Amino acid sequence: MSFDRNRLRDLFATRAILHGDFTLASGKKSTFYINSKLVMFHGESVSLIGQAFHELTKDLDIQGAGGLEVGALPLTAAFAVARYNEKLPLEGFFVRKQAKDHGSKQRVEGVLVPGSRVVIVDDVLTTGGSAQQAVEAVEEAGAKVVGVVCLVDRQAGARELFEPKYVFRSIFTLKDFGLG
């Protein structure tokens, strides 16, 4: 990868990894928590994240990227900017947990062209349940999901959920932080 992976790992290690007793979105208990929002809204970090997602997917023929609100919003924006800087188009979207009862009433917001090839982005995946919700909504809207990419794979079932149907890639695993 041509981006500074070591620098991004250091930013995660110093800003986002918390120790204590936590319940994860999957319902599992953990003695540490990765609060990626402490990295995803930091200028240097978000630039590196966008570059990393570009590197992880540059071999895929994709037209779009997005994922489940709220975490996918800054990730998708960072990814789109990185692709723009490489003169590669990328349409961004996000998936609401449930459609609003006003406005467009859409569950998927942004530009998601039916038939387009897209990747689902997420921050930290444990079992993959949140990303799976995004996959289902995007496929229901008519796009072709070709991959799932995340910042950190906690190595607790997400990869097994998505492979072999989709490409699955992560910037980091717990081992990168001495946690796995």
Residue range 27-56, pLDDT digits in tens? 888 899 999 999 999 999 999 999 999 999
User: 44 phi and psi, to 5 degrees?
Assistant: -65, -45
So what's the pLDDT on residue 48? 97
In a domain, 11, yes or no: no
Does the structure show a pLDDT above 80 at 180? no
In a domain, 37, yes or no: no
Range of the domain at 130: 49-177
94-152, pLDDT tens digit by residue? 999 776 665 566 789 999 999 999 999 999 999 999 999 999 999 999 999 999 999 99
Amino acid at 141: A
So what's the pLDDT on residue 78? 97
98-116 burial: b if 16+ Cβ within 10 Å, else e: eeeeeeeeebbbbebeeeb
Structure confidence at residue 26 as a pLDDT band (50, 70, 90): confident
In a domain, 4, yes or no: no
Choice between 70 and 123, residue whose per-residue pLDDT is larger = 123
Residue 62 is part of a domain; what is its CATH number? 3.40.50.2020
So what's the pLDDT on residue 86? 95
So what's the pLDDT on residue 1? 45
**How many folded domains does the chain comprise?**
1
Helix H segments across 58-142?
A: 72-85, 129-140
In a domain, 14, yes or no: no
